Structure 1
Amino acid sequence: LNHNAAISINHQGLDILLMGKGIAFKKKVGDSIDVNAIETSFVLKNSENMNRFTELFITVPPEVVACSERIINLGKIKLGKTLDEILYINLTDHIHSAIERHEQGMLIQNPLRWEIQRYYPDEYAIGVKALELIGRDLGISLALDEAAFIATHFVNASLDNPFNEPQKITEIVSSIEQKVKTTFKTELDEDLIDYYR
């Protein structure tokens, strides 16, 4: 992929993304990787997710990927839940986009921050802690509204949601979409990658 990342196959035959400083420097397909150079690894069982994560990794700085992984690990511990592997893609992409918006001076308010904080306090606490980690690891201070956005990624990734959760999530997303349309007086093109985010 680049000097700091390579795709390999683990002992179970699954694709694995390996990251580490200079891990793939001067390496060709088929060369072995020094195990001591591996700082982080991702095993995504779904090949489509692995392809999407690989594409994302090419554009996202490794330190953002590593920070996202730390946030996800924190979330797993705090929630004590199994989380869908899509979280690695969605949260990494969200954090990268939030940083880009921050650097461009674009602030997006979350009109549902209070509701998310009230109905999903554990996920919201993870979002707040995520902002601390982003500040510490990446030197960027994102607005508190981002904590609620990050929380929704954890809500969406929970595999043990009660049956009514998808309906609540859909209502929240629809409400956010309507607020964006109203605030920015625009229509959203659902075919664009930015809409998917």
Structure 2
Amino acid sequence: MGSDQSMAFKIKKILNNNVLIAQGEQEDEVVLIGKGIGFKRQVNALINQSEVEKLFILRDQSEQEQFKKLLPYIKEDLLKVIISSIELIRERTEGFLNEHIHVALTDHLVFAVNRLMRGMAITNPFILETKALYPYEYEIAKEVVKLFNERAHIYLPEGEIGFIALHIHSAMVNRNVNEINAHSRMIGKLIQIIEQQFDIEIDRESIDYMRLVRHLRYTIERVTRGEKVDEPEKIASLLKSEYPLCYNLSWKLIKIMQQTLKKPVYDAEAVYLTMHLQRIQTKMK
């Protein structure tokens, strides 16, 4: 948000108490979103940039259109809680949030509430992966669910915390929720393979599980970015001869990553993954 106090927006249309269509000084149309922003306002009146501080401006044309299409399906009191939720997320993250969160999270929450009202809550099979991958976003999402609970008396199920956390993470790192979700799914699949190979069940609340999930996540992110890690050659041959089971398993997991991400994986990743798997196998014996 710019700190220029003199900049003003001219109100073109009041969609409801919480959403206005306005015109900026560059003749650009913007959607101003915020709690009570449209209350007792008049068309053609001016709103100063300083008043828009707690609110959010949607500048992207396609985001604006999508958001406007969503509005007729949202009851005013529900929209108020959703806007409060996004304000809460902005406060907690204290940084850049992609404006897409307004459309994506609003759409998701309206869908979730509608399903809940029809007694069709969605289960989230990746909640534990999400919690381990994004603990910070998960805590903020917990607050959002609590806010819904208190302000709207809507009791969102625990699985929703995971979904909301993914939306928060997506807006923070400026990436698509589907991509992030796909990574969580892949990690879940990789962990299942590890459990099958070692014939163990890893405690989902344990620090070992958290470490494993994080390690897999960083590997996936490095592969996605095409980032190379140095290969400690002596360690590679040592691990191969000392821990053939872990070494082979790590390559099996890496092949899955390659096929899913459609990107090459550097050999060094197998070394680090082998060390990780060895640690888990030793602990579980």
TM-score normalised per structure 2: 0.50
Are the aligned partners of 1:81 and 1:159 in contact in 2 as well (CA < 8 Å)?
no
TM superposition shift of 1:33? 3.9
For residue 17 of structure 1, the aligned residue among 12, 29, 32 is 32
Instruction: Give unmatched runs, 5+ long, in structure 2.
Output: 1-13, 189-285
Cα–Cα, structure 1 residues 20 and 129, in superposed 2: closer, same or farther, change >3 Å? Answer: same
Tell me, in whole angstroms, the C-alpha distance in 1 between the residues paired with 2:187 and 2:132: 17
Are the aligned partners of 1:124 and 1:151 in contact in 2 as well (CA < 8 Å)?
yes
Tell me, in whole angstroms, the C-alpha distance in 2 between the residues paired with 1:63 and 1:9: 26
Corresponding residue number in structure 2 for 1:28: none
Question: Would you say how many aligned residue pairs link Structure 1 and Structure 2?
Answer: 166
SS state at 2:22 partner = strand
Are the aligned partners of 1:109 and 1:145 in contact in 2 as well (CA < 8 Å)?
yes
SS state at 2:32 partner = strand
Structure having the higher Rg: 2
SS state at 2:80 partner = helix
- The alignment-based identity, stated in percent, is 24
For residue 183 of structure 2, the aligned residue among 162, 171, 177 is 171
Tell me, in whole angstroms, the C-alpha distance in 1 between the residues paired with 2:167 and 2:149: 19
Instruction: Give unmatched runs, 5+ long, in structure 1.
Output: 25-30, 177-197
Corresponding residue number in structure 1 for 2:22: 8
For residue 56 of structure 1, the aligned residue among 70, 76, 87 is 70
Tell me, in whole angstroms, the C-alpha distance in 2 between the residues paired with 1:60 and 1:174: 34
Higher helix share: 2
Letter in 2 for 1:16: V
Tell me, in whole angstroms, the C-alpha distance in 2 between the residues paired with 1:123 and 1:137: 21
User: Pairwise mapping of residues 1-197 of structure 1 onto structure 2 (< 5 A)?
Assistant: 2=15, 4=17, 5-14=19-28, 15-17=30-32, 19-21=37-39, 23=41, 31-33=43-45, 41-159=55-173, 168-172=180-184
TM superposition shift of 1:121? 0.7
Tell me, in whole angstroms, the C-alpha distance in 2 between the residues paired with 1:43 and 1:132: 26
Are the aligned partners of 2:78 and 2:152 in contact in 1 as well (CA < 8 Å)?
yes
Q: CA RMSD in A?
A: 3.2
SS state at 2:125 partner = coil
TM superposition shift of 1:74? 2.0
Higher relative CO (CA 8 A, sep ≥ 6), structure 1 or 2?
1
SS state at 1:83 partner = coil
The 10-residue stretch of structure 1 (5-14 or 87-96) with the greater mean CA deviation from structure 2:
5-14
TM superposition shift of 1:67? 1.9
Are the aligned partners of 2:142 and 2:161 in contact in 1 as well (CA < 8 Å)?
yes
